[in-house]
Amino acid sequence: MRWLRRLMAEQQASWLQVLKVVVAIAASWFACQLLLGYELPIFAAIAALLVVAPSVNQSVGKGLERSIGTLGGVVLAWLASLVLPTGALMVLAVTVLAVVVARLLRLAPMAANQLPISAMILLALGAGSGPLFGFERIVETVIGAVVALLINLVVVPPVHHEPAERAMRDLAHAIADAYARVADSLAAGAATPGLLDEARALRERVQAARSAMADLEESTQLNPRTRRLRERLERDERLLLTLTVLANRVIGMSRSISDRLDASVAEDPTVRRVGTEARRIANAVRALVDRQALEDGRTTTLPALDGPMLTRPIDVPEPHPVHWVLIGALLEDVRQARESLEADGEGV
């Protein structure tokens, strides 16, 4: 049954989105019947089906692509009906030609797909009826696209804030755990199992958070609900930048420890201080996202954190005679992590 699982989506559209699609199809259908007197406004229904999107911005883009593709398909089918004899081969030839034309014009995906579909349907339904038939199909498509866009405006799509915040919260706690593993490794004088692999896995989490933020940004465009969320959006952008820097720094620390750390340097005062700072950074990162959750009303209490959170600059009286490369690299990573936390505006 593996082939069957490939046909099933892991994530489905919300019931609100399904309801909006159903309403858009029905509304565009009855609008064309009322305004134009069409008995079967198929093009309007297809346009409504394709144009309703999770965000208003996507609906506008899909509406334009759909209309352009329909216009191109109608014109191509009408021209073909003037010079080619009617029949099944003409429909096939025009459909193939439409695919080639869409490729040569470098049309957007929806417009490229819509052009041959419109040409094929138009020829099948009656392109020989004259240019007025094609013009009516264009008007029908525009009505369906406009109705779908209006429904997306009336039933305002949600701003995808929760997935982005959840992704960044997961990323922040994974980064904090990575700094805690760095501290444990420095205290033990050896890299903990999986230290570098788990640190490198943060890159995928950073990419997932960026993707969630991109979806969030997409959902805010042309959305009237965005105005009161602007400050939170800007704050989340700063937080993602801070977390990206922190992830890169802990990856560097994990690499340095895996390559150069040995038990002989574990008792060095500077190394011990770096371990303390790494644990403080871990606490500061957790506190940062927990405090934002409290400010946003997503939680009413802050969890208790063990250990201090405020980091301080590390003074090094003189470089280590043997492990100065390791210690220098760790100090630089800690410095950049501190500066990134301070630049976020929360202070450490």
Question: Side chain identity at 177, as an amino acid letter?
Answer: D
Tens-digit pLDDT profile for residues 157-195? 566 667 778 888 889 999 999 999 998 888 888 888 888
**Overall domain count for the chain:** 2
Residue 127: is its pLDDT beyond 60?
Answer: no
Q: Residue 167 is part of a domain; what is its CATH number?
A: 1.20.120
Q: Which of 111-115, 133-137, 194-198 has the highest mean pLDDT?
A: 194-198
User: Is 348 within the bounds of a domain?
Assistant: no
Band (pLDDT 50/70/90 cuts) for residue 247 is very high
Which residue range is the domain that position 330 belongs to?
161-343
Tens-digit pLDDT profile for residues 74-121? 788 878 877 777 777 888 888 898 899 888 888 878 788 888 888 888
Looking at the structure, tell me whether residues 94 and 41 fall in a common domain. yes
User: Is 213 within the bounds of a domain?
Assistant: yes
Residue 219: closest CA among 154, 146, 164, 266? 164
Residue 282: is its pLDDT beyond 70?
Answer: yes
Contact 338/281 with Cβ under 8 angstroms? Answer: yes
Amino acid 57: pLDDT: 59
- CA 148 to each of CA 126, 158, 223, 306: distance values in angstroms, whole numbers, following the listed order: 26, 16, 15, 53
Contact 42/60 with Cβ under 8 angstroms? Answer: no
Looking at the structure, tell me whether residues 127 and 173 fall in a common domain. no
Looking at the structure, tell me whether residues 292 and 208 fall in a common domain. yes
Residue 122: is its pLDDT beyond 70?
Answer: yes
- DSSP for 39-52, please give it: S--HHHHHHHHHH-
Residue 299: is its pLDDT beyond 50?
Answer: no
User: Is 52 within the bounds of a domain?
Assistant: yes
